[in-house]
Amino acid sequence: MQKVRSLEGSLRVVEQRNNAMRYYRPVRPSFEEKNTQRADLNSPTKGRSVSPPKENRQKVPALNLPSPPSQHFVDFDNAFLPDQPPILSNRLKTSLQHLLTYRQSDEYRQYLQLTSRYEDEGVLRIPIFVNLLLFIFLNVIISKLWEAHSFHFPVCFPLQMFSIFAIASLFAKSIVEIINSNPDSTWVAVEYPRNVINDAKIRAMLGVSVLNEGPTDYVPANDLPEEFDARVHWEGKMSPVRDQASCGSCWAFAVAETMTNRMAILDCSRGVMSPQDLVSCDFVDHGCNGGIPLASWEWVHLKGITTEECIPYSSGGGRVESCPKACKDGSAIVRTKATGVGHVKAANMQQELFDNGPFEVAFTVYEDFKVYKSGVYRHTTGSKLGGHAVMVMGWGVEDNTPYWLIQNSWGTVWGENGFFKIVRGQNECGIEATSYKGVPKCQ
């Protein structure tokens, strides 16, 4: 009787510990109990751990799972490993039930998105039965190793998924290999040195909050030239390619560069305009944490923007200084405002560019964009990273593929000397849906 009470007390402690999982785990027998069981050949346990009386066991309710597809079917009643204790078999049943529940959850869909660059492109497809065998194998090994520490499914599962993902990664092609080995690809990829661009830097540089990748009303302007380049049309008046570095200030660079170019076209140039003025002083937007294109243009409309000479760019490391009260040389800050700010419809993009000069566009950046080197970019593989603001400079056709010519703000080493081409007429990555402009108010 004393032994039964002690066992019941132990079971209550285990039950409280595992209440969230509704998972039953008996107490392991002591060394003396194991020796007694081995000596007693007539014992019904035959060396296995002692289970409590049936009347003292807590009944585990069955999981009401929807019927899984045939390729996911698992016969739980026969999921017993030979020569293994029944306790391990019950643990596997519970784990497999939770595995199928997990496959129907939002977390599993997010997991599929993370591995989409391997599975969606057909680079590596692990069959369901291989995935399941790996899961069972890892579950058995980890369960045996950690049995004495009472670690259960929530701890084991992330390690198992990580192991499977690591195995898949070993056999997967890189993004550069996927792009360059595709005979239908319209662009060329290259692996840049880490000092030019890397995952951390590109995530820091993406700073646009509002994007739309839906259909647009774009119609090619047949009355305009087939090719147009603002650098040629307004030779010597366009601003150079700059580098925003590790700051999500692309929205500020796009506005400043648009104002610089359009002021030069109107023959009222004051030099290169200052993105730092917007990063530090535009409190409507968020500095290195990004901005909204229309909001930044409204700020220039109301407050204006000064020159790079007055407020030089200083946030390349991600630190935003407070808005200065005077220029760097101590002189008063003089700002130029913009009129006619607003959205540019997709159908008017070519005409607006041809008549008034470059303007700001924004698009969604995917993983493959960071390895762009030349050609006409089209999103091929990789997950979404964020939004990016740039400046459209022209259009044309390359190998029967219409494109927009875009000036980026990642320096001259990246892309085609700091520029890139992207498919025109299909709202590729939302490039034709988020376009904004303003007309400088020359004094």
Q: Which residues pair with 307 in a beta bridge?
A: 273
Whether 250 is catalytic: yes
* Contacts within 8 Å (CB) and 24+ apart, 411-420: 411/196, 411/241, 411/242, 411/243, 412/241, 413/192, 413/196, 414/192, 414/196, 414/197, 414/372, 415/372, 415/373, 415/374, 416/373, 416/374, 417/241, 418/241, 419/241, 419/393, 420/372, 420/377
Any idea which residue has 């407050």 for tokens?
A: 303
Contact 408, 402 (CB under 8 A): no
Q: Which member of 139, 356, 408, 427 is catalytic?
A: 408
- CA-CA distances (angstroms) from residue 206 to 142, 203, 249, 408? 40, 6, 8, 12
Any idea which residue has 């875009």 for tokens?
A: 406
Whether 388 is catalytic: yes
Residue 286: what are its φ and ψ, rounded to 5°? -125, 30
The number of angstroms, rounded, from the C-alpha of 39 to the middle of its chain's C-alpha atoms is 60
Whether 42 is catalytic: no
Q: How far apart are CA 379 and CA 429, in angstroms?
A: 7
Q: Which member of 156, 379, 388, 429 is catalytic?
A: 388
Burial class (CB in 10 A: 0-12, 13-18, 19+), 255: buried
Q: Which member of 250, 288, 310, 429 is catalytic?
A: 250
Q: List CB contacts of 142: < 8 A, sequence separation 6 or more.
A: 151, 156, 159, 160
- Catalytically active residues are 250, 388, 408
